[in-house]
Structure 1
Amino acid sequence: MRNLLVVLLLALTGCASQPEPFSVVIDPLSANTIVYSGEINADNVGSFEQLITNSPTKIESLIINSGGGEVFAGIRFGELVYQYELKVIVDKVCASSCANYIATASNDVTVKQGGLLGWHGGALQPLYLSLQQSKNQVDKSNLENEQFITKWRQAELDFFNKVKVNQIVTVIGMMPGLHDKRDAQLFSYDQKTLKRLGLHIAYEGEQATHSSSGEYVVQIFSLSPEVLDLLLIQHSKILEQEKLGLLSQGIW
Protein backbone atom coordinates (compact mmCIF):
# COMPACT_ATOMS: atom_id res chain seq x y z
CA MET A 1 0.00 0.00 0.00
CA ARG A 2 2.87 2.37 0.75
CA ASN A 3 4.36 1.89 -2.72
CA LEU A 4 0.89 2.26 -4.19
CA LEU A 5 0.38 5.68 -2.59
CA VAL A 6 3.85 6.90 -3.57
CA VAL A 7 3.17 5.97 -7.20
CA LEU A 8 -0.24 7.63 -7.04
CA LEU A 9 1.09 10.88 -5.61
CA LEU A 10 3.91 11.08 -8.14
CA ALA A 11 1.47 10.44 -10.96
CA LEU A 12 -1.26 12.84 -9.95
CA THR A 13 0.14 15.74 -7.93
CA GLY A 14 2.54 16.77 -10.66
CA CYS A 15 1.46 15.06 -13.83
CA ALA A 16 3.65 16.90 -16.28
CA SER A 17 7.11 15.30 -16.45
CA GLN A 18 8.70 18.75 -16.81
CA PRO A 19 7.25 22.18 -15.97
CA GLU A 20 5.43 23.57 -18.99
CA PRO A 21 6.01 27.19 -20.01
CA PHE A 22 3.15 29.06 -18.39
CA SER A 23 1.06 31.98 -19.60
CA VAL A 24 -2.44 33.23 -18.89
CA VAL A 25 -3.68 36.21 -20.89
CA ILE A 26 -6.78 37.80 -22.34
CA ASP A 27 -6.97 36.66 -25.95
CA PRO A 28 -5.82 39.64 -28.08
CA LEU A 29 -8.45 38.66 -30.66
CA SER A 30 -11.31 38.36 -28.17
CA ALA A 31 -11.75 40.39 -24.98
CA ASN A 32 -14.17 37.75 -23.67
CA THR A 33 -11.64 34.90 -23.79
CA ILE A 34 -8.77 33.85 -21.53
CA VAL A 35 -5.94 31.74 -22.94
CA TYR A 36 -4.29 29.45 -20.33
CA SER A 37 -1.23 27.46 -21.30
CA GLY A 38 0.94 25.40 -18.98
CA GLU A 39 0.95 23.47 -15.74
CA ILE A 40 -1.94 23.55 -13.29
CA ASN A 41 -0.65 24.59 -9.89
CA ALA A 42 -1.77 26.92 -7.11
CA ASP A 43 0.18 29.96 -8.35
CA ASN A 44 -0.90 29.58 -11.96
CA VAL A 45 -4.55 29.05 -11.06
CA GLY A 46 -4.31 32.04 -8.73
CA SER A 47 -3.16 34.13 -11.68
CA PHE A 48 -6.11 32.86 -13.72
CA GLU A 49 -8.52 33.72 -10.89
CA GLN A 50 -7.10 37.24 -10.59
CA LEU A 51 -7.42 37.76 -14.33
CA ILE A 52 -11.02 36.59 -14.58
CA THR A 53 -12.06 38.45 -11.42
CA ASN A 54 -10.52 41.76 -12.49
CA SER A 55 -11.33 41.62 -16.19
CA PRO A 56 -13.18 44.75 -17.37
CA THR A 57 -15.14 42.60 -19.81
CA LYS A 58 -17.19 39.50 -19.06
CA ILE A 59 -15.09 36.38 -19.67
CA GLU A 60 -17.13 33.77 -21.51
CA SER A 61 -14.53 31.35 -22.88
CA LEU A 62 -11.33 29.60 -21.85
CA ILE A 63 -8.80 28.29 -24.35
CA ILE A 64 -6.64 25.77 -22.53
CA ASN A 65 -3.51 23.81 -23.28
CA SER A 66 -2.29 21.81 -20.26
CA GLY A 67 -0.84 18.40 -19.49
CA GLY A 68 -2.20 18.60 -15.94
CA GLY A 69 -0.68 19.30 -12.54
CA GLU A 70 -1.74 19.58 -8.91
CA VAL A 71 -5.09 18.05 -8.01
CA PHE A 72 -6.37 20.64 -5.52
CA ALA A 73 -5.36 23.46 -7.85
CA GLY A 74 -7.17 21.60 -10.60
CA ILE A 75 -10.34 21.34 -8.51
CA ARG A 76 -10.21 25.07 -7.75
CA PHE A 77 -9.69 25.79 -11.47
CA GLY A 78 -12.71 23.64 -12.32
CA GLU A 79 -14.83 25.41 -9.71
CA LEU A 80 -14.02 28.74 -11.40
CA VAL A 81 -14.90 27.35 -14.83
CA TYR A 82 -18.22 26.16 -13.41
CA GLN A 83 -18.89 29.37 -11.47
CA TYR A 84 -18.32 31.61 -14.49
CA GLU A 85 -20.07 29.16 -16.86
CA LEU A 86 -17.15 29.24 -19.26
CA LYS A 87 -17.06 27.66 -22.65
CA VAL A 88 -13.87 25.59 -22.84
CA ILE A 89 -11.78 25.10 -25.96
CA VAL A 90 -9.04 22.47 -25.78
CA ASP A 91 -6.23 23.67 -28.02
CA LYS A 92 -3.47 21.03 -28.15
CA VAL A 93 -3.87 18.95 -25.00
CA CYS A 94 -5.98 18.67 -21.86
CA ALA A 95 -4.85 15.71 -19.77
CA SER A 96 -4.80 14.45 -16.19
CA SER A 97 -6.01 17.19 -13.81
CA CYS A 98 -7.09 19.26 -16.80
CA ALA A 99 -9.34 16.46 -18.06
CA ASN A 100 -10.52 15.62 -14.53
CA TYR A 101 -11.57 19.08 -13.47
CA ILE A 102 -11.64 21.49 -16.44
CA ALA A 103 -13.25 19.43 -19.19
CA THR A 104 -15.85 18.17 -16.72
CA ALA A 105 -16.76 21.60 -15.30
CA SER A 106 -18.14 23.15 -18.48
CA ASN A 107 -21.40 22.52 -20.29
CA ASP A 108 -19.74 23.52 -23.58
CA VAL A 109 -16.38 21.94 -24.40
CA THR A 110 -14.84 21.86 -27.86
CA VAL A 111 -11.69 19.93 -28.67
CA LYS A 112 -9.98 21.47 -31.67
CA GLN A 113 -8.79 19.40 -34.62
CA GLY A 114 -5.85 17.30 -33.44
CA GLY A 115 -6.35 18.25 -29.78
CA LEU A 116 -5.84 15.52 -27.19
CA LEU A 117 -8.16 14.93 -24.23
CA GLY A 118 -7.38 12.11 -21.83
CA TRP A 119 -7.67 10.76 -18.30
CA HIS A 120 -5.39 8.45 -16.31
CA GLY A 121 -6.88 8.32 -12.81
CA GLY A 122 -8.24 10.33 -9.93
CA ALA A 123 -8.94 10.19 -6.21
CA LEU A 124 -10.60 6.77 -6.59
CA GLN A 125 -7.52 5.36 -8.30
CA PRO A 126 -6.19 3.54 -5.17
CA LEU A 127 -9.26 1.25 -5.30
CA TYR A 128 -8.18 -0.05 -8.68
CA LEU A 129 -4.42 -0.01 -8.18
CA SER A 130 -4.96 -2.16 -5.09
CA LEU A 131 -6.73 -4.73 -7.26
CA GLN A 132 -3.70 -4.85 -9.54
CA GLN A 133 -0.91 -4.83 -6.93
CA SER A 134 -0.19 -6.72 -3.74
CA LYS A 135 -1.17 -4.92 -0.53
CA ASN A 136 1.30 -4.05 2.21
CA GLN A 137 0.38 -2.89 5.66
CA VAL A 138 0.40 0.88 6.02
CA ASP A 139 3.02 2.14 8.47
CA LYS A 140 3.20 5.43 10.37
CA SER A 141 5.50 7.03 7.82
CA ASN A 142 2.72 6.70 5.26
CA LEU A 143 0.07 8.45 7.38
CA GLU A 144 0.57 11.79 5.63
CA ASN A 145 -0.12 10.20 2.25
CA GLU A 146 -3.22 8.49 3.63
CA GLN A 147 -4.48 11.84 4.88
CA PHE A 148 -3.81 13.40 1.49
CA ILE A 149 -5.85 10.71 -0.29
CA THR A 150 -8.74 11.10 2.18
CA LYS A 151 -8.82 14.88 1.76
CA TRP A 152 -8.55 14.58 -2.03
CA ARG A 153 -11.35 12.03 -2.28
CA GLN A 154 -13.77 14.24 -0.36
CA ALA A 155 -12.84 17.33 -2.38
CA GLU A 156 -13.21 15.43 -5.65
CA LEU A 157 -16.54 13.91 -4.61
CA ASP A 158 -17.89 17.35 -3.69
CA PHE A 159 -16.66 18.74 -7.02
CA PHE A 160 -18.30 16.07 -9.19
CA ASN A 161 -21.54 16.34 -7.25
CA LYS A 162 -21.51 20.08 -7.95
CA VAL A 163 -20.83 19.81 -11.70
CA LYS A 164 -23.19 16.82 -12.07
CA VAL A 165 -20.68 14.55 -13.80
CA ASN A 166 -20.13 10.93 -12.82
CA GLN A 167 -16.86 10.68 -10.87
CA ILE A 168 -16.19 7.29 -12.45
CA VAL A 169 -15.06 9.11 -15.62
CA THR A 170 -11.58 9.41 -14.06
CA VAL A 171 -11.06 5.67 -13.49
CA ILE A 172 -13.05 3.60 -16.01
CA GLY A 173 -9.87 2.85 -17.96
CA MET A 174 -8.37 1.33 -14.80
CA MET A 175 -11.28 -1.00 -14.04
CA PRO A 176 -11.03 -4.81 -14.28
CA GLY A 177 -11.75 -5.89 -17.83
CA LEU A 178 -10.50 -2.64 -19.32
CA HIS A 179 -7.17 -2.17 -17.55
CA ASP A 180 -5.72 -5.27 -19.27
CA LYS A 181 -6.77 -3.80 -22.63
CA ARG A 182 -4.98 -0.51 -22.02
CA ASP A 183 -2.28 0.22 -24.55
CA ALA A 184 -1.81 3.99 -24.13
CA GLN A 185 -0.80 6.35 -21.34
CA LEU A 186 -4.16 8.15 -21.36
CA PHE A 187 -7.72 6.98 -21.96
CA SER A 188 -10.90 8.62 -23.13
CA TYR A 189 -14.32 7.59 -24.41
CA ASP A 190 -16.39 7.84 -27.57
CA GLN A 191 -18.71 10.82 -27.64
CA LYS A 192 -21.86 8.84 -26.80
CA THR A 193 -20.20 7.46 -23.65
CA LEU A 194 -18.97 10.92 -22.68
CA LYS A 195 -22.53 12.20 -22.92
CA ARG A 196 -23.91 9.34 -20.80
CA LEU A 197 -21.34 10.19 -18.13
CA GLY A 198 -22.69 13.75 -17.99
CA LEU A 199 -20.06 15.44 -20.17
CA HIS A 200 -20.72 17.97 -22.93
CA ILE A 201 -17.77 17.59 -25.30
CA ALA A 202 -17.66 18.10 -29.05
CA TYR A 203 -14.73 17.39 -31.36
CA GLU A 204 -13.69 19.24 -34.48
CA GLY A 205 -13.17 16.19 -36.67
CA GLU A 206 -12.26 12.75 -35.33
CA GLN A 207 -11.08 12.20 -31.76
CA ALA A 208 -7.29 12.41 -31.83
CA THR A 209 -5.26 9.57 -30.36
CA HIS A 210 -1.76 10.55 -31.49
CA SER A 211 0.38 13.56 -30.66
CA SER A 212 1.62 15.94 -33.34
CA SER A 213 4.89 13.98 -33.37
CA GLY A 214 3.03 10.72 -34.05
CA GLU A 215 3.15 9.19 -30.56
CA TYR A 216 0.12 7.08 -29.57
CA VAL A 217 -1.11 8.85 -26.43
CA VAL A 218 -4.87 8.39 -25.92
CA GLN A 219 -6.86 5.16 -26.14
CA ILE A 220 -10.56 5.67 -26.93
CA PHE A 221 -12.96 3.25 -25.24
CA SER A 222 -16.28 2.74 -27.04
CA LEU A 223 -18.73 1.47 -24.45
CA SER A 224 -22.28 0.38 -25.17
CA PRO A 225 -24.97 1.49 -22.68
CA GLU A 226 -25.15 -2.10 -21.39
CA VAL A 227 -21.40 -2.31 -20.76
CA LEU A 228 -21.35 1.12 -19.11
CA ASP A 229 -24.23 0.09 -16.84
CA LEU A 230 -22.31 -3.05 -15.81
CA LEU A 231 -19.21 -0.97 -15.06
CA LEU A 232 -21.27 1.42 -12.95
CA ILE A 233 -22.73 -1.49 -10.98
CA GLN A 234 -19.27 -3.02 -10.54
CA HIS A 235 -17.91 0.34 -9.37
CA SER A 236 -20.70 0.70 -6.79
CA LYS A 237 -19.93 -2.78 -5.43
CA ILE A 238 -16.22 -1.95 -5.10
CA LEU A 239 -17.07 1.25 -3.21
CA GLU A 240 -19.42 -0.69 -0.93
CA GLN A 241 -16.78 -3.35 -0.25
CA GLU A 242 -14.30 -0.63 0.67
CA LYS A 243 -16.84 0.95 3.02
CA LEU A 244 -17.47 -2.40 4.70
CA GLY A 245 -13.74 -2.92 5.09
CA LEU A 246 -13.35 0.47 6.76
CA LEU A 247 -16.32 -0.23 9.02
CA SER A 248 -14.75 -3.51 10.14
CA GLN A 249 -11.61 -1.57 11.06
CA GLY A 250 -13.64 1.04 12.96
CA ILE A 251 -12.52 3.77 10.53
CA TRP A 252 -15.81 4.65 8.82
Structure 2
Amino acid sequence: MRNLLVVLLFTLAGCASQPEPFSVVIDPLSANTIVYSGEITADNVGSFEQLITNSPTKIESLIINSGGGEVFAGIRFGELVYQYKLKVIVDKVCASSCANYIATASNDVMVKQGGLLGWHGGALQPLYLSLQQSKNQVDKSNIKDEQFIAKWRQAELDFFNKVKVNQIVTVIGMMPGLHDKRDAQLFSYDQKTLKRLGLHIAYEGEQATHSSSGEYVVQIFSLSPEVLDLLLIQHSKILEQEKLGLLSQGI
Protein backbone atom coordinates (compact mmCIF):
# COMPACT_ATOMS: atom_id res chain seq x y z
CA MET A 1 0.00 0.00 0.00
CA ARG A 2 2.90 2.37 0.64
CA ASN A 3 4.05 2.19 -2.99
CA LEU A 4 0.46 2.55 -4.16
CA LEU A 5 -0.07 5.69 -2.09
CA VAL A 6 3.20 7.24 -3.28
CA VAL A 7 2.14 6.72 -6.90
CA LEU A 8 -1.30 8.07 -6.11
CA LEU A 9 -0.13 11.26 -4.45
CA PHE A 10 2.56 11.83 -7.07
CA THR A 11 0.05 11.70 -9.90
CA LEU A 12 -2.27 14.08 -8.05
CA ALA A 13 0.48 16.63 -7.37
CA GLY A 14 -0.04 18.62 -10.53
CA CYS A 15 0.11 18.55 -14.32
CA ALA A 16 2.96 18.68 -16.79
CA SER A 17 3.53 22.43 -16.68
CA GLN A 18 5.39 24.13 -13.83
CA PRO A 19 2.96 25.78 -11.38
CA GLU A 20 2.92 29.55 -11.30
CA PRO A 21 3.64 31.43 -8.04
CA PHE A 22 0.54 31.57 -5.87
CA SER A 23 -1.69 34.61 -5.82
CA VAL A 24 -5.34 35.20 -5.04
CA VAL A 25 -6.77 38.68 -5.65
CA ILE A 26 -9.91 40.53 -6.58
CA ASP A 27 -9.78 41.09 -10.33
CA PRO A 28 -8.80 44.76 -10.85
CA LEU A 29 -11.14 44.84 -13.86
CA SER A 30 -14.12 43.28 -12.03
CA ALA A 31 -14.97 43.67 -8.35
CA ASN A 32 -17.18 40.57 -8.57
CA THR A 33 -14.36 38.24 -9.64
CA ILE A 34 -11.53 36.52 -7.79
CA VAL A 35 -8.41 35.44 -9.68
CA TYR A 36 -6.68 32.36 -8.20
CA SER A 37 -3.36 31.22 -9.59
CA GLY A 38 -1.10 28.47 -8.26
CA GLU A 39 -1.13 25.30 -6.22
CA ILE A 40 -4.14 24.16 -4.20
CA THR A 41 -3.04 23.91 -0.56
CA ALA A 42 -4.83 24.35 2.76
CA ASP A 43 -3.19 27.74 3.30
CA ASN A 44 -3.92 28.95 -0.23
CA VAL A 45 -7.54 27.87 -0.08
CA GLY A 46 -7.77 29.51 3.34
CA SER A 47 -6.65 32.78 1.74
CA PHE A 48 -9.31 32.35 -0.96
CA GLU A 49 -11.99 31.68 1.66
CA GLN A 50 -10.95 34.72 3.66
CA LEU A 51 -11.04 36.90 0.54
CA ILE A 52 -14.48 35.77 -0.60
CA THR A 53 -15.92 35.96 2.92
CA ASN A 54 -14.66 39.50 3.55
CA SER A 55 -15.22 40.93 0.09
CA PRO A 56 -17.31 44.14 0.20
CA THR A 57 -18.88 43.14 -3.11
CA LYS A 58 -20.64 39.90 -4.00
CA ILE A 59 -18.20 37.53 -5.67
CA GLU A 60 -19.82 35.85 -8.66
CA SER A 61 -16.90 34.46 -10.67
CA LEU A 62 -13.60 32.68 -10.18
CA ILE A 63 -10.79 32.80 -12.73
CA ILE A 64 -8.47 29.90 -12.00
CA ASN A 65 -5.10 28.66 -13.20
CA SER A 66 -3.92 25.62 -11.24
CA GLY A 67 -2.23 22.31 -11.89
CA GLY A 68 -3.79 20.86 -8.74
CA GLY A 69 -2.53 20.13 -5.24
CA GLU A 70 -3.80 18.75 -1.95
CA VAL A 71 -6.96 16.68 -2.13
CA PHE A 72 -8.72 17.79 1.06
CA ALA A 73 -7.89 21.42 0.29
CA GLY A 74 -9.32 20.84 -3.18
CA ILE A 75 -12.55 19.45 -1.75
CA ARG A 76 -12.88 22.47 0.54
CA PHE A 77 -12.21 24.78 -2.41
CA GLY A 78 -14.93 23.02 -4.41
CA GLU A 79 -17.38 23.31 -1.52
CA LEU A 80 -16.84 27.07 -1.50
CA VAL A 81 -17.34 27.30 -5.26
CA TYR A 82 -20.59 25.37 -4.85
CA GLN A 83 -21.70 27.36 -1.79
CA TYR A 84 -21.22 30.72 -3.47
CA LYS A 85 -22.54 29.48 -6.84
CA LEU A 86 -19.49 30.80 -8.64
CA LYS A 87 -18.99 30.85 -12.38
CA VAL A 88 -15.58 29.28 -13.04
CA ILE A 89 -13.31 30.45 -15.83
CA VAL A 90 -10.30 28.24 -16.58
CA ASP A 91 -7.48 30.47 -17.75
CA LYS A 92 -4.46 28.34 -18.68
CA VAL A 93 -4.86 25.04 -16.86
CA CYS A 94 -7.16 23.27 -14.41
CA ALA A 95 -5.87 19.77 -13.71
CA SER A 96 -5.82 17.12 -11.02
CA SER A 97 -7.51 18.41 -7.83
CA CYS A 98 -8.61 21.50 -9.73
CA ALA A 99 -10.47 19.41 -12.31
CA ASN A 100 -11.77 17.01 -9.64
CA TYR A 101 -13.25 19.56 -7.29
CA ILE A 102 -13.39 23.02 -8.89
CA ALA A 103 -14.59 22.29 -12.43
CA THR A 104 -17.18 19.87 -11.04
CA ALA A 105 -18.55 22.22 -8.37
CA SER A 106 -19.86 24.95 -10.68
CA ASN A 107 -22.93 24.95 -12.91
CA ASP A 108 -21.19 27.39 -15.25
CA VAL A 109 -17.62 26.60 -16.32
CA MET A 110 -15.91 28.26 -19.26
CA VAL A 111 -12.50 27.11 -20.50
CA LYS A 112 -10.75 29.92 -22.31
CA GLN A 113 -9.18 29.47 -25.71
CA GLY A 114 -6.13 27.24 -25.31
CA GLY A 115 -6.96 26.40 -21.69
CA LEU A 116 -6.33 22.83 -20.54
CA LEU A 117 -8.78 20.86 -18.40
CA GLY A 118 -7.87 17.33 -17.42
CA TRP A 119 -8.23 14.55 -14.88
CA HIS A 120 -5.83 11.79 -13.85
CA GLY A 121 -7.37 10.11 -10.84
CA GLY A 122 -9.12 10.63 -7.54
CA ALA A 123 -10.04 8.82 -4.35
CA LEU A 124 -11.07 5.75 -6.36
CA GLN A 125 -7.71 5.68 -8.12
CA PRO A 126 -6.11 3.14 -5.72
CA LEU A 127 -8.82 0.65 -6.71
CA TYR A 128 -7.93 0.93 -10.39
CA LEU A 129 -4.20 1.05 -9.77
CA SER A 130 -4.49 -2.22 -7.86
CA LEU A 131 -6.28 -3.78 -10.84
CA GLN A 132 -3.28 -2.86 -12.97
CA GLN A 133 -0.79 -4.42 -10.55
CA SER A 134 -0.21 -7.97 -9.44
CA LYS A 135 -1.24 -8.82 -5.89
CA ASN A 136 2.42 -9.18 -4.95
CA GLN A 137 3.04 -5.55 -5.86
CA VAL A 138 0.36 -4.20 -3.53
CA ASP A 139 1.49 -4.05 0.09
CA LYS A 140 -1.55 -3.67 2.34
CA SER A 141 0.37 -3.59 5.58
CA ASN A 142 0.37 0.15 6.14
CA ILE A 143 -2.76 0.93 8.15
CA LYS A 144 -2.20 4.70 8.10
CA ASP A 145 -2.22 4.71 4.30
CA GLU A 146 -5.46 2.74 4.27
CA GLN A 147 -7.00 5.14 6.77
CA PHE A 148 -5.99 8.13 4.63
CA ILE A 149 -7.54 6.63 1.50
CA ALA A 150 -10.72 5.64 3.37
CA LYS A 151 -11.09 9.17 4.75
CA TRP A 152 -10.46 10.66 1.32
CA ARG A 153 -12.93 8.34 -0.39
CA GLN A 154 -15.70 9.25 2.04
CA ALA A 155 -14.99 12.97 1.74
CA GLU A 156 -14.94 12.75 -2.06
CA LEU A 157 -18.13 10.68 -2.16
CA ASP A 158 -19.92 13.22 0.05
CA PHE A 159 -18.64 16.03 -2.17
CA PHE A 160 -19.85 14.52 -5.45
CA ASN A 161 -23.21 13.65 -3.92
CA LYS A 162 -23.54 17.30 -2.91
CA VAL A 163 -22.63 18.77 -6.30
CA LYS A 164 -24.63 16.09 -8.17
CA VAL A 165 -21.80 14.97 -10.43
CA ASN A 166 -20.87 11.34 -11.05
CA GLN A 167 -17.69 10.54 -9.10
CA ILE A 168 -16.55 8.24 -11.92
CA VAL A 169 -15.48 11.34 -13.87
CA THR A 170 -12.14 11.22 -12.01
CA VAL A 171 -11.21 7.66 -13.03
CA ILE A 172 -12.82 6.74 -16.37
CA GLY A 173 -9.46 7.09 -18.11
CA MET A 174 -8.03 4.50 -15.72
CA MET A 175 -10.71 1.87 -16.29
CA PRO A 176 -10.01 -1.45 -18.02
CA GLY A 177 -10.41 -1.00 -21.76
CA LEU A 178 -9.52 2.69 -21.67
CA HIS A 179 -6.33 2.61 -19.61
CA ASP A 180 -4.52 0.72 -22.37
CA LYS A 181 -5.54 3.43 -24.85
CA ARG A 182 -4.15 6.26 -22.75
CA ASP A 183 -1.45 8.23 -24.53
CA ALA A 184 -1.38 11.47 -22.51
CA GLN A 185 -0.76 12.43 -18.91
CA LEU A 186 -4.28 13.83 -18.44
CA PHE A 187 -7.64 12.75 -19.80
CA SER A 188 -10.88 14.60 -20.44
CA TYR A 189 -14.11 14.08 -22.35
CA ASP A 190 -15.93 15.64 -25.28
CA GLN A 191 -18.69 18.05 -24.33
CA LYS A 192 -21.53 15.56 -24.83
CA THR A 193 -19.85 13.10 -22.46
CA LEU A 194 -19.16 15.87 -19.94
CA LYS A 195 -22.84 16.73 -19.95
CA ARG A 196 -23.87 13.09 -19.47
CA LEU A 197 -21.61 12.95 -16.42
CA GLY A 198 -23.45 15.93 -14.91
CA LEU A 199 -20.90 18.62 -15.78
CA HIS A 200 -21.62 22.08 -17.15
CA ILE A 201 -18.50 22.97 -19.11
CA ALA A 202 -18.19 25.06 -22.27
CA TYR A 203 -15.12 25.94 -24.32
CA GLU A 204 -14.03 29.01 -26.23
CA GLY A 205 -13.25 27.29 -29.49
CA GLU A 206 -12.03 23.68 -29.67
CA GLN A 207 -10.95 21.69 -26.64
CA ALA A 208 -7.20 22.09 -26.23
CA THR A 209 -5.04 18.98 -25.97
CA HIS A 210 -1.58 20.58 -26.21
CA SER A 211 0.20 23.02 -23.92
CA SER A 212 1.35 26.43 -25.13
CA SER A 213 4.79 24.88 -25.73
CA GLY A 214 3.28 22.20 -28.00
CA GLU A 215 3.38 19.26 -25.57
CA TYR A 216 0.52 16.75 -25.87
CA VAL A 217 -1.04 16.85 -22.41
CA VAL A 218 -4.76 15.97 -22.52
CA GLN A 219 -6.41 13.02 -24.26
CA ILE A 220 -10.08 13.60 -25.08
CA PHE A 221 -12.38 10.58 -24.78
CA SER A 222 -15.60 10.61 -26.81
CA LEU A 223 -17.95 8.09 -25.22
CA SER A 224 -21.32 7.18 -26.68
CA PRO A 225 -24.24 6.81 -24.24
CA GLU A 226 -24.05 3.02 -24.70
CA VAL A 227 -20.32 2.87 -23.91
CA LEU A 228 -20.70 5.18 -20.92
CA ASP A 229 -23.54 3.02 -19.58
CA LEU A 230 -21.34 -0.06 -19.90
CA LEU A 231 -18.52 1.70 -18.04
CA LEU A 232 -20.91 2.72 -15.27
CA ILE A 233 -22.12 -0.88 -14.92
CA GLN A 234 -18.52 -2.14 -14.91
CA HIS A 235 -17.59 0.44 -12.30
CA SER A 236 -20.48 -0.62 -10.05
CA LYS A 237 -19.41 -4.26 -10.32
CA ILE A 238 -15.81 -3.41 -9.41
CA LEU A 239 -16.99 -1.46 -6.36
CA GLU A 240 -19.23 -4.36 -5.33
CA GLN A 241 -16.39 -6.86 -5.75
CA GLU A 242 -14.17 -4.65 -3.62
CA LYS A 243 -16.84 -4.47 -0.91
CA LEU A 244 -17.21 -8.25 -0.90
CA GLY A 245 -13.43 -8.63 -0.71
CA LEU A 246 -13.23 -6.34 2.31
CA LEU A 247 -16.09 -8.16 4.01
CA SER A 248 -14.36 -11.50 3.48
CA GLN A 249 -11.27 -10.03 5.17
CA GLY A 250 -13.37 -8.81 8.09
CA ILE A 251 -12.72 -5.14 7.28
Q: 1:61 to 1:189 in 2, by over 3 A?
A: same
Q: TM-score when scaled to structure 1? A: 0.96
User: 1:36–1:65: 8 Å Cα contact kept in structure 2?
Assistant: yes
Q: Quote how far apart the aligned CAs of 1:143 are.
A: 1.6
* Counterpart-to-counterpart distance in 1, 2:248 and 2:122: 25
Distance change (3 Å), C-alpha of 1:139 and 1:188: closer
1:73-98 deviation line (CA, Å, top 9, x unaligned) = 00000000000000000000000000
**Structure 1: segments with no counterpart, 5+ residues:** none
Tell me by how many angstroms 1:136 deviates: 3.5
Check conservation: 2:91, 2:112, Cα contact below 8 A: yes
**Worse-superposed segment, 189-198 or 18-27:** 18-27
Alpha-carbon contact 1:63-1:91 (below 8 Å) kept: yes
Higher deviation after alignment, 138-147 or 31-40: 138-147
How big is the shift at 1:135? 2.1
- Which whole-Å CA distance do the structure 1 matches of 2:43 and 2:235 have between them? 35
Query: What is the distance in 1 between the residues matched to 2:143 and 2:15?
Result: 22
Determine if contact 1:184/1:218 at 8 Å carries over to the other structure.
yes
- Aligned pair 1:194/2:194, yes or no? yes
Identify if the C-alpha distance between structure 1 residues 140 and 229 changes in structure 2 by more than 3 Å, giving closer, same or farther.
Answer: closer
> Quick check: 1:16–1:39 contact (8 Å CA) kept in 2?
no
Structure 1 residues 208 and 138: alpha-carbon distance in aligned structure 2, compared to 1, 3 A threshold: closer
Whole-angstrom distance in 2 between the partners of 1:123 and 1:140: 17
- Structure 2 residue runs of 5 or longer lacking an equivalent are none
C-alpha distance in structure 2 between counterparts of 1:18 and 1:214, whole Å? 14
Are the equivalent residues in 2 in contact too, given 1:14–1:70 (CA < 8 A)? no
Q: Deviations over 1:138-161 (max 9, x none)?
A: 768622111110100000000000
Cα deviations by residue, 1:166-204 (Å, 9 ceiling, x for unpaired): 000000000000000000000000000000000000000
- CA separation of 1:113 and 1:99: change in aligned 2, threshold 3 A: same
How far the C-alpha of 1:13 sits from its partner, in A, is: 5.2
Give the TM-score taking structure 2 as reference length. 0.96
Q: For each residue in 1:25-62, what CA deviation from the matched residue of structure 2 results, as whole angstroms up to 9, or x when unmatched?
A: 00000000000000000000000000000000000000
Q: How many residues align?
A: 251
CA separation of 1:15 and 1:184: change in aligned 2, threshold 3 A: closer
Whole-angstrom distance in 2 between the partners of 1:2 and 1:116 = 31
Deviations 1:3-35 (A, max 9, x none): 222211222256678653000000000000000
The runs of at least 4 consecutive aligned structure 1 residues that moved more than 4 Å come to 13-19, 137-141
* 1:218 positional shift: 0.1
The structure-2 alpha-carbon separation of the partners of 1:13 and 1:45, relative to structure 1 and needing over 3 Å to count, comes to same
1:189-240 Cα distance to aligned partner (Å, 9 max, x none) = 0000000000000000000000000000000000000000000000000000
Following superposition, the deviation at residue 250 of structure 1 comes to 1.1
Task: Give the secondary structure class of the aligned counterpart of 1:88.
Answer: strand
Identity %, equivalent residues: 96
**In structure 1, distance between residues paired with 2:15 and 2:216:** 18
Q: Which residue of 2 aligns with 1:151?
A: 151
Gap change, CA 1:188 and 1:6, over 3 Å in 2: same
Partners in 2 of 1:93 and 1:144 — Cα distance?
32
Change (3 A) 1:95 1:59: same
SS at match of 1:141: coil
Which stretch shifts more, 139-148 or 225-234? 139-148
